[in-house]
């Protein structure tokens, strides 16, 4: 597929930086329960939020250009950054963030299907969302300590755009999450950040796996 013009990519990255620095960082900070004295300083939170969101916005726009599905992907990326910060801070993915993300991404996929004329993609998106939820739900039943219900519910919005593109993208996003999660766990063990009985937040790996699939397999 043709890559987007530089000006469009830069504009998207700047938009991501602005959104990440202000509303996204505020939304993230509002959903962190820790005592204010134990929280990440707001300026540091804003820097991480703005930098990561700008990077993802730029990369996704570079790969998809003005494709009608881009707004849904940007919304997922923005929410994914916010949820990852919360998960890294508190090892949880709050419903107050997961379900609005699900709603926004689902709504944005409707005009994407309308503009492309591919209404079947919406059915694939619904199947991808339900399938990812069920997959993680089964894992949570098998190993509750390894997979939390926040991760299970987060599969709903992540599965939507991956499913919208078809089963290859869906599998790639799912496989990518476990590949990245495994690498992160090995590195954390090597650096003694966790023990064999400890756990590493999986939400960021879920986001990274989805983003990696969307970037590498862009049609």
Q: In this predicted model, what pLDDT tens digit does every residue of 107-129 receive, in sequence order? A: 999 999 999 999 999 999 999 99
Q: Is residue 168 part of a domain?
A: yes
Q: Answer yes or no: pTM beyond 0.85.
A: yes
In a domain, 146, yes or no: yes
Q: What is the mean pLDDT of residues 43-55?
A: 96
Q: Is the model's pLDDT at 3 over the cut of 80? A: no
CA distance 117 to 7: 28
* pLDDT at position 144 over 90: no
Euclidean distance between CA atoms 143 and 167, whole angstroms:
25
Q: Give the domain extent around 28.
A: 6-216
Q: Is residue 1 part of a domain?
A: no
With cut-offs at 50, 70 and 90, classify the pLDDT of residue 139: very high
Q: In the chain, how many domains are there?
A: 1
Q: What's the mean pLDDT in 163-190? A: 95
In this structure, is residue 57 part of a structural domain?
Answer: yes
């Amino acid at each position: 597929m043709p890559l987007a013009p530089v000006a469009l990519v830069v504009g998207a990255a700047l938009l991501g930086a602005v959104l990440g620095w202000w509303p996204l960082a505020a939304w993230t900070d509002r959903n962190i329960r820790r005592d204010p004295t134990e929280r990440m300083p707001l300026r540091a939170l804003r820097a991480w939020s703005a930098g990561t969101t700008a990077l993802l916005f730029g990369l996704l726009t570079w790969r998809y250009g003005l494709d009608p599905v881009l707004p849904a992907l940007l919304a997922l990326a923005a929410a994914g950054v916010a949820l990852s910060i919360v998960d890294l801070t508190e090892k949880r993915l709050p419903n107050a963030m997961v379900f609005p993300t699900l709603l926004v991404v689902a709504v944005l996929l409707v005009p994407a299907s309308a503009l492309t004329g591919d209404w079947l993609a919406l059915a694939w998106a619904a199947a991808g969302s339900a399938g990812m939820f069920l997959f993680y739900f089964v894992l949570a039943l098998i190993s509750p300590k390894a997979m939390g219900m926040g991760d299970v519910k987060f599969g709903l919005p992540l599965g939507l755009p991956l499913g919208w593109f078809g089963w290859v993208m869906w599998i790639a996003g799912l496989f990518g999450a476990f590949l990245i999660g495994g690498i992160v766990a090995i590195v954390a063990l090597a650096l003694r950040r966790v023990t064999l009985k400890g756990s590493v937040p999986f939400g960021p790996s879920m986001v990274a796996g989805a983003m990696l699939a969307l970037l590498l397999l862009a049609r």
